Amino acid sequence: MDHVVWKMEVYQVMLGLSNKSPEDFADHTMCRLGKWYYEGEGQSKYTSFTAFKKLEKPHAEVHQNGLAALNANLAGDKKAAAHYLALMESASFVVVEQLSQLANQIAGEVTFVKDHAELF
């Protein structure tokens, strides 16, 4: 999942395993999940689902806090960097939770349609 890869790249920079700069990281509208959400299948098929609507804010927070952690790390503020990483992880948990909820909502709708198809 690209979401996890994005976070791992943040950690790699924090640990000195990567030379990427904050500018090298996609924002929440340009990563694959963001493109799916704003331009792709998500936007065209799932906007009516509650979980889809609840996905935008935490997804943006993952990116904002990951970038804030990188910037704090660059400034030498390890305490702030750790704080932002914790916020990134908290938002990430909500993203995964909402994606799971969305999958369940989609599956429920498909089952409902299938179960009622014989009525027509």
Nearest to 105 by CA among 64, 61, 59, 53: 53
| Three-class SS state of 17 | coil
Convert the pLDDT of each residue in 73-84 to its tens digit: 999 999 999 999
Lowest mean pLDDT, pick from 30-34, 90-94, 105-109? 105-109
Nearest by Cα to 83 from 19, 25, 2, 14: 14
Domain ranges for the chain, please list them: 2-14+26-119
Residue 3, pLDDT score = 84
CA angle 29, 109, 94 (to 5 degrees): 40
Q: What confidence tens digit (pLDDT) does each residue in 14-71 have?
A: 999 999 999 999 999 999 999 999 999 999 999 999 999 999 999 999 999 999 999 9
CB contact burial 69-91 (16+ within 10 A = b; e otherwise): bbebbeeeeeeebeebbebbeeb
What was the pLDDT predicted at 68? 98
Cα(40)–Cα(58) distance, integer angstroms: 19
Average pLDDT score over the chain: 92
Q: Report how far residue 9's alpha carbon sits from residue 29's, in angstroms, rounded to the nearest whole number.
A: 17
Task: Quote the pLDDT of residue 109.
Answer: 77
The pLDDT, as a whole number, for residue 116 is: 52
Asked if residue 117 has pLDDT above 90, the reply is no
